[in-house]
């Protein structure tokens, strides 16, 4: 794991944007894995700014989102499809037909299972994900892979943890139906991405970040599965990094890496 600790959430967004732009500018058919939640919004704003200043185009790219709520229409204000359209897709030059979010409007189980399997096939047919962006839940989830999710799991129906429902309550009004189920890429699916970049900001993530990086490999912290990925970068602000035991070491590693690249390490 490469651990990068930066001063603020905006620095985290800028770093993530650099990584995404690098993929977009170096691959002929870039495939991005995208995430929802409040953390990547600053990344999407940064990408929109770079598109507007002609630094990048999304015309050739294909995107796959991690997850979607089951049982609400795509057009629902809180669907992840609406989130992505609003926060990114409508503001850049991507072909909307090349943006995939799991199809989860139906509540018919066999239809959902078929959609999940087809999602996996679509990812494979696109050539796999070049860079998967991730956030982390306060309980250590990635996508909607809640604690005890198998590290081998594929795109499937998942029941949300009570703490996740509680954390996401703020987006739904009191009289509104809030889904307790989601269709999510599995941990196995995520681990097949060629590279992953997990962003975490704020004090509320400090414990799950510590468990992910320094805790044991455990289904109790689904994000700890990223310890198994050969090209995983974790980019944190100071608050999210505040519980890390080896924080100084990670910063030292980055310094050494920089010096090595500059040829000034001896
Ligand atoms: C959501 C999403 C995750 C996201 C997480 C954290 O429920 N399914 O992909 O990483 O929760 O969200 P936030 O960035 O708002 O803390």
**141 part of the active site:** yes
**Structure tokens, 3:** 């651990």
Grade residue 28 by pLDDT with cuts at 50, 70 and 90. Answer: very high
Residues with CB under 6 A from ligand 1: 35-39, 66-67, 135-137, 143-144, 164, 168
Residue 43 alpha carbon to ligand 1 centre in Å: 14
Instruction: Return the axis-axis angle of helices 80-87 and 41-52, rounded to nearest 10°.
Output: 40
H-helix or E-strand containing 80? Answer: helix 80-87
Tally Cβ neighbours within 10 Å of residue 109.
Answer: 10
pLDDT tens readout for residues 95-131: 999 999 999 999 999 999 999 999 999 999 999 999 9
Q: For residue 71, what is the DSSP state?
A: S
| pLDDT at 51 > cutoff 70 | yes
- How large is the average pLDDT for residues 216-238? 98
| pLDDT at 217 > cutoff 70 | yes
Domains along the sequence of the chain with CATH: 2-262 (3.40.50.1360)
Pairing label, strands 232-237, 2-6: parallel
Exposure pattern of 111-120 as b/e (b: 16+ CB <10 Å)? ebeebbeebb
Considering Cα of 215, then 218, then 223, then 225, what sign does the dihedral take?
Answer: positive
**Structure tokens, 177:** 């139906």
Which ligand 1 atom sits nearest the alpha carbon of residue 144? 8
**Structure tokens, 191:** 């681990």
**145 part of the active site:** no
What is the pLDDT of the chain when averaged over all its residues? 97
Backbone Cα Rg of the chain: 18
Reference 104, options 136, 132, 81; nearest CA is: 81
**Structure tokens, 247:** 């924080």
Which ligand 1 atom sits nearest the alpha carbon of residue 204? 16
Q: How long, in residues, is the chain?
A: 266
Task: Please check whether residue 164 is in contact with residue 203, taking contact to mean a CB–CB distance below 8 angstroms.
Answer: no
Which ligand 1 atom sits nearest the alpha carbon of residue 160? 7
Q: What are the respective helix, strand and coil percentages of the chain, to the nearest 5?
A: 40, 15, 40
pLDDT tens readout for residues 155-170: 999 999 999 999 899 9
Residue 99 alpha carbon to ligand 1 centre in Å: 19
Percent of the chain exceeding pLDDT 70 equals 99
Nearest CA to ligand 1 atom 13: 37
Q: What three-state secondary structure class fits 64?
A: strand
pLDDT tens readout for residues 163-203: 999 989 999 998 999 999 999 999 999 999 999 999 999 99
| Per-residue pLDDT at 96 | 98
* Residue labelled with tokens 């739904």: 172
**115 part of the active site:** no
């Amino acid at each position: 794991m490469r651990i990068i600790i930066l001063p603020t959430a905006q620095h985290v967004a800028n770093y993530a944007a650099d990584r995404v732009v690098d993929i977009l500018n170096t691959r002929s058919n870039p495939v991005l894995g995208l995430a929802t939640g409040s953390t990547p919004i600053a990344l999407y704003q940064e990408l929109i700014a770079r598109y507007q200043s002609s630094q990048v185009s999304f015309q050739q790219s294909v995107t796959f989102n991690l997850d979607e709520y089951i049982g609400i229409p795509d057009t629902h204000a809180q669907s992840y499809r609406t989130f992505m359209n609003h926060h990114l897709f409508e503001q850049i030059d991507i072909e909307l037909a090349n943006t995939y979010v799991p199809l989860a409007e139906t509540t018919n189980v066999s239809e959902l299972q078929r959609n999940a399997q087809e999602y996996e096939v679509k990812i494979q047919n696109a050539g796999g994900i070049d860079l998967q962006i991730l956030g982390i839940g306060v309980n250590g989830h990635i996508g909607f892979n809640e604690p005890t999710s198998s590290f081998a799991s594929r795109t499937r129906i998942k029941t949300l943890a009570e703490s996740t429902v509680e954390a996401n309550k703020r987006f739904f009004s009191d009289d509104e139906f809030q889904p307790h189920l989601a269709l999510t890429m599995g941990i196995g699916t995520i681990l097949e991405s060629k590279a992953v970049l997990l962003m975490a900001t704020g004090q509320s993530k400090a414990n799950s970040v510590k468990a992910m990086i320094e805790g044991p490999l455990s289904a109790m912290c689904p994000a700890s599965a990223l310890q198994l990925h050969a090209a995983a970068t974790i980019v944190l602000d100071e608050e999210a990094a505040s519980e890390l035991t080896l924080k100084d070491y990670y910063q030292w590693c980055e310094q050494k890496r920089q010096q090595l690249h500059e040829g000034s390490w001896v």
